[in-house]
Amino acid sequence: MSESRFRTLGGHLATAGAYTIFGLNIVFCKDIANSGLVSPVVLFTFRVGGAALLFWLLSLFLPPEPVRKGDFGPIALASFIGLFVPQLTFLMAMPLASPIDTAVMSTLGPIFTMFFALFFLGEPVTGQKAGGVALSFAGVLFLIFNSVHTGGVGHSTPGGIFFLLLNCLSFSLYLGAFRPLIGRYGVVTFMKWMFLFSFLLSLPVSARVLLQTPFSALSPQLCWEIGYMVVFATFISYFLIPVGQKILRPTLVSMYSYVQPVIAAVVGIRAGMDSLSWQKAVATVLIVTGVLLVSRSRGRKEKS
* Structure confidence by residue, pLDDT tens digits, 189-210: 999 999 999 999 999 989 889 8
Q: What is the pLDDT of residues 218-261, one digit of tens each?
A: 899 999 999 999 999 999 998 998 888 888 777 667 767 766 66
For residue 148, give the 3-state DSSP assignment. coil
Which one has a higher pLDDT value, 127 or 218?
218
Whole-Å CA distances, 161 to 98, 103, 166: 10, 11, 9
pTM of the model: 0.76
Look at residues 80, 257, 92, 254 and name the one whose alpha carbon lies nearest to residue 163. 92
pLDDT of residue 117: 75
Q: What is the pLDDT of residues 94-118, one digit of tens each?
A: 788 876 677 677 767 777 877 787 7
Q: How far is the C-alpha of 154 from the C-alpha of 273, rounded, in Å?
A: 7
Q: How far is the C-alpha of 192 from the C-alpha of 242, rounded, in Å?
A: 12
Q: How far is the C-alpha of 223 from the C-alpha of 32, rounded, in Å?
A: 9
Q: What is the pLDDT of residues 133-172, one digit of tens each?
A: 778 777 766 765 665 444 444 567 888 889 989 998 998 8
Average model confidence (pLDDT) for the chain?
A: 81
| DSSP state for residue 67 in the 8-state scheme | -
Instruction: Give the phi and the psi of residue 124 in degrees, each rounded to 5.
Output: -75, 155
Which one has a higher pLDDT value, 253 or 92?
92
